[in-house]
Structure 1
């Protein structure tokens, strides 16, 4: 359904992720030896009829152990996107040694006459999730707000997750207001779906049922938080 190509490298087709409700497609741009990537194009294949009410949100990461980071989307009206890759450290790591990771990726159009920044990327993993346009555009809006924040670079950066960056729910809500709202709505909907099965004739639910839901919810959240993607907010 999708494909990607890094400048000067072969075209790579997407692979479907079985039994997935989050990232349904992945593309791995890799090589037997490190290469310098300056631009990456991601696009919907020409023979694919993409549903107009959905969008394919695009994510990047450097290894299977890292977290995907959102960078943009594809749709029937926007079947392709070009991501400009820059690396802050131009030293090439020796084989087997960890590199400094992917530096900057932005979605701006290429500036005429600008030379691509050389660097070394041995593997980039692209994840694509098919979501409603409302969800995709909410993520785009949140990304724009992050970029517009004080001390924020105009470019997007793929970096290792800093676990100390968000220390409490208030910081989460301030940094990611849209995602926090979506998370709260899905938790409430999950509780509602569970508790409606225990309504009595007066429309009340025993508090014990709520306690049971909460304990089960926490256990499932620890095992696989992706189940929240299956909960609709409406």
Structure 2
């Protein structure tokens, strides 16, 4: 489902499901890789064909040696890849020397060449993940978690359905065009609106969307355009 890249290292695809379900639909996964050489970014992305269940997100956690897991961001169907900035602990010369001795005693066992880092991916409800993203970005003061800002924005928009959005667009147009309605010149007793009035509404509507893309989320459908 997922893959990761650390700059200067091969792409990792050896993901492990850590909560296998009877149905085969695991929700928690993990990658393990050496702490060295030093890295400050991790690219996480969906493999082709990966689609998360509706209203869920992939929460990304990292665990350094002798530390707890920490949340570093999230992915979603709308943002299937991102670069996450991280700050692994730097090893001291004394630690490197100790590691060299451990490597020698392990007779060249590559598994012991460096302490392991675990990257965890957990499929969780978007309502659970979004507050963590917001808190992370408020703490960092920048887009530390790559595509996660988009996740917060999209989650906030979950409160307005497509049906309600369509009703508000129609209501906005109706309120604007009503003042231009006039009697049908053919005498049919119907009210008609000049095409130019619709063109004027569309121009005004586009301009307002560009200035304030979320105004329809706040606008009462009966409000004037």
Could you state the TM-score of these two structures normalised by the residue count of structure 2? 0.47
- Comparing both structures, which one devotes a greater share of its residues to helix? 2
Could you state the TM-score of these two structures normalised by the residue count of structure 1? 0.45
Larger radius of gyration: 2
